Amino acid sequence: MKAKIKVTLKNGVLDPQGKAIEGALGSMGFGGVGSVRQGKYFEVDLTETDRAKAQTTLKAMCEKLIANTVIENYEIELS
Amino acid sequence: MKSAVITFPGINRERDMMMALEATTGIKPISVWHAEATLPDVDLVVVPGGFSYGDYLRCGAIAARSPIMADIKAKVLKGLKVLGVCNGFQIITEAGLLPGALVRNAGLKFVCREVRLKVENTNTYFTNKMAKGQIISCPVAHGEGNYICDAETLKELEGEGRVVFRYAEGSNPNGALNDIAGIVNAKGNVIGMMPHPENMIEPLHGKQDCLALFESLLAA
């Protein structure tokens, strides 16, 4: 089973990297960019075949390591 | 004061820290590899600075899940003193021993220079030889030292006097909330700080402003 995990900074957490990308896009001539927020993307291959169990394990992985829930949100997508 | 210094892969300030501890407390600290399951019998554990696991995922995130950290967490509940410096601050915060998080410097640059620190709390095992409000010089060297936390945690930290060090006016190198450079946990036995006091204790360091911090350990 394959999982796709998206980790993004919570609203209100300053994202200087996103800001720098936003600035670069502007200076390259891309108009109309409101704002850019940078996040992280993970692909996890699981040997688990039970969807519910996989979901529980992935949630624990996100809570305990993949995301820092003080500053980040995560989304799990199971294929 | 018996101490141990933990080394993780990618840590690079462990020798500076060991030298500082030995020079000031007179006892050679025990070097402990992160893969060990149990700590030796010590009063203080120092998590030094560096770039554990190349800062992969998030600074300190992977080191915070090392085997030795479980024993540190268990012993912190029984009163073990812990000092985390720079990457060590990031590691113990990722491990949940301190609230909040350390994120990318607001200016995006790695900052390596001397800053001025204001000692805000002198009632800790690492600052009892200092005067409240005293300004000291201390070097910083980090790319992700921007301390943040939610409003409730900030209120708690400030209300309980748990901000131990603050960057003095005009000295904040990373955009940290309320100029926070170092904090202590509610129980008073876990301190984390971004600056490197171990690099400001000898004449060859240029200044010895941080000597009194280490001397505080003797009275603790």
Instruction: List the single residue in A15, A16, A68 with the smallest CB-CB distance to B101.
Output: A68
Give the whole-angstrom CA distance, residue B185 versus residue B98.
Answer: 6
Instruction: List the single residue in A16, A64, A65 with the smallest CB-CB distance to B106.
Output: A16
In chain A, what is the straight-line distance between the N-terminal and C-terminal CA atoms, in Å?
7
* A79 min Cα distance to partner chain B (Å): 23
DSSP state of B205: G
Assign B97 a pLDDT band (cuts: 50, 70, 90): very high
* A70 min Cα distance to partner chain B (Å): 6
Residue A26 Cα distances to A20, A31, A33, A44, B165, angstroms: 10, 6, 7, 34, 38
Residue B96 has pLDDT above 90, yes or no: yes
Q: How many CB pairs under 8 A join A and B?
A: 34
Report yes or no: A68 at the B interface, CB cutoff 8 Å.
yes
Give the whole-angstrom CA distance, residue B180 versus residue B124.
Answer: 16
Mutation target to probe the B interface, by most B beta carbons within 10 A, among A65, A69, A73, A74 is A65
Give the whole-angstrom CA distance, residue A31 versus residue A33.
Answer: 6
Q: Check which CATH number belongs to the domain holding A15 and give it.
A: 3.30.1280.10
Assign B169 a pLDDT band (cuts: 50, 70, 90): very high
* A14 min Cα distance to partner chain B (Å): 8
The counts of H helices and E strands in chain A are: 2, 3
Predicted local confidence at residue B220, as pLDDT: 78
Predicted local confidence at residue B128, as pLDDT: 97
Work out how many domains chain A is built from and give that number. Answer: 1
Q: Is B101 helix (H, G, I), strand (E, B) or coil?
A: strand
Which of B14, B114, B144, B198 is catalytic? The answer is B198
CA-nearest residue to B146 within chain A is A14
Predicted local confidence at residue B209, as pLDDT: 97
Q: Check if B198 is active-site.
A: yes
Report yes or no: A24 at the B interface, CB cutoff 8 Å.
no
In sequence order, what E strands does B9-134 have? 30-33, 44-47, 81-85, 101-103, 111-119
pLDDT tens figures, A29-48: 999 999 999 999 999 999 99
CATH numbers and ranges of domains, chain B = 3-219 (3.40.50.880)
What is the rounded average pLDDT for all residues in chain B? 97
Instruction: List the single residue in A15, A64, A68 with the smallest CB-CB distance to B58.
Output: A68
Q: Check if B196 is active-site.
A: yes
* Angle, alpha carbons B12-B94-A36 (nearest 5°): 100
**Domain containing residue A71:** 2-78
Mutation target to probe the A interface, by most A beta carbons within 10 A, among B53, B55, B56, B57 is B57
How large is the ipTM? 0.87
Residue B182 has pLDDT above 90, yes or no: yes
Q: Check if B86 is active-site.
A: yes
pLDDT tens figures, B30-67: 999 999 999 999 999 999 999 999 999 999 999 999 99
pLDDT tens figures, B112-157: 999 999 999 999 999 999 999 999 999 999 999 999 999 999 999 9
Contact B48, B91 (CB under 8 A): no
Predicted local confidence at residue B184, as pLDDT: 98
% of chain B exceeding 90 in pLDDT: 98
Report yes or no: B177 at the A interface, CB cutoff 8 Å.
no
